[in-house]
Amino acid sequence: MIRNPILPGFHPDPSILRVGEDYYVATSTFEWMPGVRLHHSRDLVHWRPLGGALTEPRLLDLTGTPDSGGVWAPCLSYADGVFYLVFTNVAGYAGGFWDVPNYVVTATSVEGPWSDPVVLHARGFDPSLFHDEDGRSWLLSNDLDWRPGHHWSAGIIAQEFDRATGKLLGEPVTIFSGTPALYTEGPHLYRRDGWYYLLTAEGGTGWDHQVTVARSRTLLGPYQVDPQTPLVSAAREPRLPLQKAGHGSLVDTPAGEWYLAYLVGRPLTERDECVLGRETALAPVNWTTDGWPRIEGARPALTVPAPDLAPHPWPAEPATDDFDAPVLGPQWSTLRRPFHADWASLHARPGHLRLHGGRSPSSKFDTSLVARRVTAAKCGFAASVEADPRSPQQLAGITAFYNTRNWHYAYLTWREGLGRCLELLSCDRGRLHRPPHTPVPVPPTGPVHLRADLDLPDLRFSWSLDGQDWQRLGSALDARILSDEHAIEASPEGVFQIWGFTGAFVGLWSHDLSGNAMPADFAHATYTA
């Protein structure tokens, strides 16, 4: 059986691809580096992380990117021995305008190296590439309308893409205007038995999300909507454990079995916060005699039959990262800037991750945060930190993090009258506050162990000097602030100013607001779920 979600935690907008016997999924990463997270499978049951595709400023610049901006809905495709990756780097979305340049990079291996990005257009987001049987390729995306009084989603456009030059040809053509579900986006195009099948995401990426299917005999339409649409949705079934089902892409096996990769969310209770973010699930697809794809019940399921493929499990990821590898593991991400020796190192002190203190927790520039996705409602994260703070301007510790406006932080710092000590700080929709606790003095030198235990909706921090005798630091904190639902903020007129599209992280954080880049050494980072 396939157990959903196949990619737990923040893994939205899946683009699934088969090349021979290998299956790949690319997912959105927004403001996190490396950009475009990739996973690999041989049986659609077991998946291993490959890390991110866009690993350096040459490929992706997220400097100053707004919360939930950055890389939206990438599409991974393959033609004539070359992988194509198209993606949007969203630079702005507030106030009614959209800054959404789209790019394409190529590689002969899915693990790179990837070519320099070529800019395509900025008319809309969620780009995808379709490679037709006649050798021509087409770029699809949604079409944005910024004008007041107009719905922002103006349908799906297609434009020919020249693979030889990486350039667009001709002018874009609107091929699909969407359905009354609105918010038409996330297009993916397929050809089967003489039909072009267009999959789109509709209904918004919340409770009313869905996958819509339409088909045409010609690529540029007109497209007829499946009379039994949606292909999958949980909009009318709020009690299902998997919600927000939508934004899907199709893949087939060598034996002709079809599957849909799509996003889901797992609310804490009915229509409650989805702290784990939007995740990736799979569903088997059957085709009717008159040529329409169908999913049983048209709703998401926790378990579904696996394809007839030989099982191919991967070695389990060790619970503890001792930071003794030459490069950072694929489970880790960094915020807005790539892992680089000018602020982070695995070599300065063997067996440790050294982070030089970056800018403030609210900054969208030069943040020193190395974090990993929260993948389960009950999990723990622990690490030791060693630093020599000399003022309250210097902090280093562990965090449960959503974005610059929503996080909890247990950290080592310095306080008048106490010297080196442990404290707590939280931020809720941009409002800083100190949770009730007593600062804990610790020895002036040596490592301090910190732990975060999530049992949603509660988060508890603990500390220890030896990693065994743990003591609580403060009381339970509300982890529901680490969710899409909580993060979204709109103006009084209903215009969204801050989106929430990611998910909860736990990580290692270091700040030096004095600008002296205090080094903090982290060791034995352990994640258990």
Any idea which residues carry the catalytic annotation?
Answer: 13, 185
| HEC readout, 143-182 | EECCCCCCCCEEEEEEEEEECCCCEEEEEEEEEECCCCCC
Q: Which candidate, 28, 65, 35, 10, places its Cα nearest to that of 498? A: 65
Q: Which candidate, 178, 163, 11, 176, places its Cα nearest to that of 77? A: 163
Please list the residues that pair with 49 across neighbouring strands: 39
Both structure tokens of 385: 């930190």
Instruction: Give 445's Cβ-side CA count (13 Å radius).
Output: 0
Instruction: Give 204's Cβ-side CA count (13 Å radius).
Output: 8
The C-alpha atoms of residue 374 and residue 503 are separated, in whole angstroms, by 8
Q: Which amino acid is at 90?
A: V
The span from the first CA to the last CA of the chain, in angstroms, equals: 21
Contact 234, 271 (CB under 8 A): no
Phi–psi pair at 480, nearest 5 degrees: -65, -20
| CB contact set of 482 (below 8 Å; sequence gap of 6+) | 275, 374, 400, 401, 402, 406, 407, 408, 503, 504
The C-alpha atoms of residue 358 and residue 335 are separated, in whole angstroms, by 11
Q: Which amino acid is at 420?
A: R
How many other C-beta atoms are found inside a 10 Å radius of the C-beta of residue 459? 23
How many other C-beta atoms are found inside a 10 Å radius of the C-beta of residue 353? 25
| CB contact set of 312 (below 8 Å; sequence gap of 6+) | 41, 42, 43, 45, 46
Which residue has tokens 């982290």?
522
Contact 526, 419 (CB under 8 A): no
The C-alpha atoms of residue 137 and residue 145 are separated, in whole angstroms, by 25
